[in-house]
Structure 1
């Protein structure tokens, strides 16, 4: 399929579909609405991971340090008090099993990525701080993305403090890790190893041949489905592929409708991943 044909197909999809596909360090081979803002969902966890490894590199934190596993966090909204995560809204019982005990900070960061644990995310974020995550976005060259709050900080969300990404910014962030631009080669290799160990195999992964190496993170909430990664083919240079999908505002709230819409979005991310893989030998020119 040509890029023009793909573009026409995506234009007919309800809501907003953003795509970035291109070799690292080069102009992209294909983009569609790359700077359109989307709610970040769990893709923001990549920036938190980078902030942690950068802090470890400077000695501010130690990845092996045992930290308390608690479920109470200070809201990003001044004066709003504290908030907690809901166990049934998480994807990783292993972290919850340690509630009331301790866990290594680096292990929490891994669970934040490979199983998308919300509790682990807030614990890591509490040790690095929101300014450190903002510094990661800035260092990556992101233009529109921001991380204003932790997961399930509803008081901050309702006050307008939210987490936002664009397809282009996620490609810059992941590309900066893969090309060792956000920290030392050793620190970036550590981040990349975590992303390569991702355990979830839907979205982008489902559009690739089995066994293809991909360092990635997906994200999903009601009306939102994203996949962002760097693919390492055996027969072509590495490339970034990011797909962000957001349903039209004001959609129906019936659970069956939500599930069907999410499944359509999941298939769409997979389909785009497969199209980009098929075009991996012609993804962009020197930038």
Structure 2
């Protein structure tokens, strides 16, 4: 645990160099040891809430309430802005629930996300969060719902909650082993790489989900160095987006280097 105390202090130094808000959660999956910095702090989740939505989809699939092969037809009423590609497709296209789930995670498609929220229901998604013992993660509005936001509704999480979700996925315990494997496979296909991977080797294996808003950048994932794996979640805000991304990248690079340093065979 002594080395983790040192690591925590060094990360606190990195955080002290910026004026924004940063929370960090680290979990060594080989040693079952962790530390966090403001890990229990509730912050805006941005698209990281999509992890919980994906988990609820897999719960309903596991109970045979839904099938991943089930088709949804795009309609004009589903249109929404922000990230994604569905918004530029013509109505009438059909997608399976698995394809919508991949779009929601891999390219953070907001239209796919809202379709799944309507199908799964916000109530069920939040009930799963409570059942998983997530303390600060809940969904209050659909993606790009400015009216709900103006009324004070938003989506929240904490770095500790995201780290817990990722640990359950890695251990095959998020819903069940099959569901965890499907979720992990989707997270490995993530196409956004400017945060945790910013200063890491381009071939680094990582299963992650990120999110961003104005002056806010979040990322959390399972990172492998050969057969060694660890979880790192860094949530940042109240500073320019580029500074947020650079801060996440610096913290990620520090942890990566430390993991490699204590395991020479991984070099």
TM superposition score normalised by structure 2: 0.88
How far does the alpha carbon of each residue in 1:5-25 deviate from its partner, in whole angstroms, 9 at most, with x for none? 321331342121001111238
Is the alpha carbon distance of 1:180 and 1:139 closer, same or farther for their aligned partners in structure 2, counting shifts above 3 Å? farther
Residue segments in structure 2 that go unaligned for 5+ positions in a row: 1-5
Residue in 1 aligned with 2:80? Answer: 85
Instruction: Summarize the Cα distance change of 1:186–1:69 in structure 2 as closer, same or farther, 3 Å threshold.
Output: same
Q: Match for 2:105 among 106, 109, 113?
A: 113
Counterpart secondary structure, 1:121 = helix
CA gap of 1:172–1:178, structure 2 versus 1, over 3 A, is: same
The whole-number CA distance in structure 1 between the counterparts of 2:196 and 2:254 is 11
- 1:127–1:174 distance in 2 versus 1, CA, 3 Å: same
RMSD: 2.1
Match of 2:230 in 1: 239
Alignment partner, residue 187 of structure 2? 195
Among 103, 125, 131, which residue is 2:123 paired with?
A: 131
1:204 matched residue in structure 2: 196
SS of residue paired to 1:131: helix
Provide, for residues 183-206 of structure 1, a one-character-per-residue CA deviation record: whole Å limited to 9, x for no partner.
Answer: 121111001100011111211122
Provide the residue aligned with 1:279 in structure 2: 258
Q: Which runs of 4+ in 1 moved over 6 A?
A: none
- Partner residue, 2:243: 264
Structure 2 distance, partners of 1:100, 1:221, is 30
Question: After the TM superposition, which of the residue ranges 105-114 and 17-26 deviates more from structure 2?
Answer: 17-26
Residue 158 (1) aligns with residue 133 (2): no
1:206 counterpart SS class: coil
Q: In the TM superposition, what whole-angstrom CA distance separates every residue of 1:120-172 from its partner, at most 9, and x where no partner exists?
A: 11011111111222133223321111111210122222222210011111101
Q: 2:33 aligns with which of 27, 33, 37?
A: 27
Deviation at 1:65, TM superposition (A): 1.0
CA distance in 1, matches of 2:73, 2:217: 32
**2: CA distance, partners of 1:135 / 1:178:** 22
Q: Secondary structure at the match of 1:148?
A: coil
Deviates more, 1:125-134 or 1:220-229: 125-134
Secondary structure class of the residue paired with 1:217: strand
Deviation (angstroms), 1:94: 4.9
1:122 aligns with 2:114: yes
> What residue ranges of structure 1 are gaps of 5+ in the alignment?
74-83, 249-260
- TM-score normalised to the size of structure 1? 0.83
Contact in 2 for aligned 1:195/1:217 (Cα 8 Å): yes
1:72 to 2:83 alignment: no
Report deviation, 1:95: 5.7
